[in-house]
Structure 1
Amino acid sequence: MWEKVWKWLAIFVGAFIYSIGLNAFLVANHLAEGGFVGISILLLYKLGWPLGLTFLILNIPVLIPGWLVFGHEFILKTTLGVIAVSLFSSLTSHFQVPTHDPLLAALYAGVVTGLGLGLIFRTGATTGGSDIIARLIQHFFRFRMGRTLFAIDVVVIGLVAVVIGRETAMYSLVALFVASRVVDFVLEGVQSGRALTIISDEHEAIVQAIHEKLERGTTLLNASGGYTGDQKQVVYCVVPRTEVPRVQSIVAAVDPRAFVVVSSVHEVLGEGFTYKDPSSA
């Protein structure tokens, strides 16, 4: 029950933070955004239409088909996200942090809006608009969501370049990029690491050394050489980024000819990372 309450609360908290980023840094410094929010900001600049109300009205035509295609649970959360952003965008419209450095404003806007969006996305909700359009296009035409979202943002930023100016569009792109990175950070968490795939005839010695020197777990995977057909055992190990050089040193000391692949792991859960043994407390 408390988990559900937290999710609903996170939508409102995320929407509030996102709205602060919009008004305090983007609107205050005459910058823009992508998607439906970007269109709403353009209409605010040129016609004086209120940002929150315009954003809500633009979303109504896409929420209805989204409800019919994706069901009530997803759209219910998304509708709540849309209403929360619309409401808080209106309530925080007086939050203004103008600066003479548009690059600084773009960076702060990206961080704050990205943090707000990340909290909303973690609950399984969205802020509607282009996200629903991208999902609908993917559902009916099998076109990737990422490409659709990128295309929509390109069109909106293009409008910003034409209507407001190219320099504003470029600073707005900086804010979009920073926001996307912050969203990734919030969604993936701080428990990121690296996965090492180690192929060596000395796998037993490597496993023992990792256990003794790093106290990290390993997994042995059965594999066969694609060319020779020889049976091998592959060592798989996940460690924090700071421990990668130590693993590489251990492997090199045991078998300098070992084949090692290091891959990014966005989130690591479980023993050694997030799980704490109650008996050790």
Structure 2
Amino acid sequence: MNQVKFYASMLVGTFIIALSFTLLQSPNQIASGGLTGASLVLSSIFNVPSATILLVTTLLLLVICCYFLGMNTILKSVIGSLLIPFFVYLTSGLHPLTDDPLLASIFGGLGVGVGLGIVFRVGGNTGGFTLIAQILHKIKSVKYSTSIIFMDAIVMIAGGLIFSPEKALYALVGAFVTRKTMEFIQGKNKGSQVAYIISSKVYEKRITESVLNGLDRGLTKITGAGGYTNSERVIMMTVLDQSKVKDLRLVVQEIDPQAFIILCDATEVIGEGFTPSFRSSSSKMLVS
């Protein structure tokens, strides 16, 4: 049943993303980041259909990622990566819903956000810039969020130069709507989460460095032993915002595909980087 839910969500989510791109963003030249936005910019430069560029760049990216990350790491990305260009090609002949760029940016961003939210809720991903971020993290230890924000910014700036500065502003509106919609679908307004990562001692150092440096989160280690094998295990506990849960999954599964990750809701977190303590708040009020 879980497999059926996963594949059904991947199909529905990627189809909504492709439909939003074909009917709203592409005809109105709204390049709101991502590989779809990049394909729109490149399509205008080389006068080649976006669907063709999207498919070629996706295949090229998968080959490159296979070399740097290995086949096992990118298996979950293959489905989403290929479904989007397939659906974009399938829907490319449909008539645009509007020629108003503001409406296209808002509702296009809404559609993409819904699609991404559906995909991310079942632990899937759509490849694209996420794969590039994984490569950069492995080679140069660049944070996932930093890489994606930087690449999205390049796409929007390029869209502003190729199309018009006004279109870049519309793209920014679309990106904002996408993010907020995606967070709502994923339930990211629920607060922080406690993550327990259970792995072997072999991967302890790499997971620790990735969480501390890649995700910029603190980590507490607890030593344990497997109940069946009695082999030594390390339990790493970290508290992180909902928006970083997906990044944590990618980081841990890339290093140790057999690791257990247990996520629990944290109703309140007091300390550095989270809600300040009552004493700290009172002190600040007295000082001011």
TM-score of the aligned structures, taking structure 1 as reference length? 0.64
For each residue in 1:240-281, what CA deviation from the matched residue of structure 2 results, as whole angstroms up to 9, or x when unmatched? Answer: xxxxxxxxxxxxxxxxxx9499xxxxxxxxxxxxxxxxxxxx
Offset of residue 9 of structure 1: 1.7
Match of 1:41 in 2: 40
The match for 1:188 is 187
Partner of 1:146: 145
C-alpha separation in 2, matches of 1:88 and 1:260: 55
1:270 aligns to what? none
Cα distance change of structure 1 residues 71 and 124 upon mapping to structure 2, 3 Å threshold = farther
Paired letter, 1:43: L
Equivalent pair of 2:9/2:122 in contact (CA under 8 Å): yes
Partner in structure 2 of residue 67 of structure 1: 66
Q: Contact 2:27 / 2:99 at 8 angstroms: preserved in 1?
A: no
Alignment of 1:38-187 (within 5 A): 38-187=37-186
CA gap of 1:94–1:170, structure 2 versus 1, over 3 A, is same
Q: CA deviation at 1:156?
A: 1.2
TM-aligned CA deviation for residue 163 of structure 1: 0.9
Decide which moves more: 67-76 or 158-167: 67-76
Q: Retained in 1: the 8 A contact 2:58–2:82? A: no
- How high is the sequence identity, in percent, across the aligned residues? 28
Cα distance change on mapping 1:101 and 1:194 into 2, 3 Å: same
Is 1:12 matched up with 2:3? Answer: no
CA–CA separation in structure 2 for the residues paired with 1:238 and 1:122? 20
Distance 1:70 1:187, change over 3 A: farther
1:11 positional shift: 0.9
* Helix, strand or coil at the partner of 1:29: coil
- Could you say what the CA RMSD is over the residues aligned between the two structures, in angstroms? 2.7
Q: CA deviation at 1:69?
A: 4.8
Equivalent position SS for 2:183:
helix
Greater Rg over alpha carbons, structure:
1
TM-score, normalised relative to structure 2: 0.62
Moved over 6 A (4+): none
CA contact (8 A) 2:20 2:112 kept: yes
Residues 226-245 of structure 1 aligned to structure 2 (within 5 Å): 238=267
Check conservation: 1:28, 1:96, Cα contact below 8 A.
no
Residues 7-33 of structure 1 show CA distances to partners (whole Å, capped at 9, x for unaligned) of 012111111000111011111323223
Per-residue displacement from partner, 1:201-241 (whole Å, max 9, x unpaired)? Answer: xxxxxxxxxxxxxxxxxxxxxxxxxxxxxxxxxxxx949xx
Deviations 1:68-102 (Å, cap 9, x if unpaired)?
A: 55454542221111111011101111333343532
Aligned amino acid, residue 155 of structure 1: I
Query: What is the Cα deviation at residue 113 of structure 1?
Result: 0.7
| Letter matched to residue 184 of structure 2 | F
Structure 1 SS opposite 2:26: helix
- Output the CA distance in 1 between the equivalents of 2:42 and 2:267: 49
Q: Distance in 1 between matches of 2:144 and 2:191?
A: 27
Provide structure 1 residue ranges, at least 5 long, that are not aligned to the other structure: 196-236, 240-257, 262-281
Amino acid at match of 2:86: L
The separation in 2 between residues aligned to 1:55 and 1:29, in whole angstroms, is 17
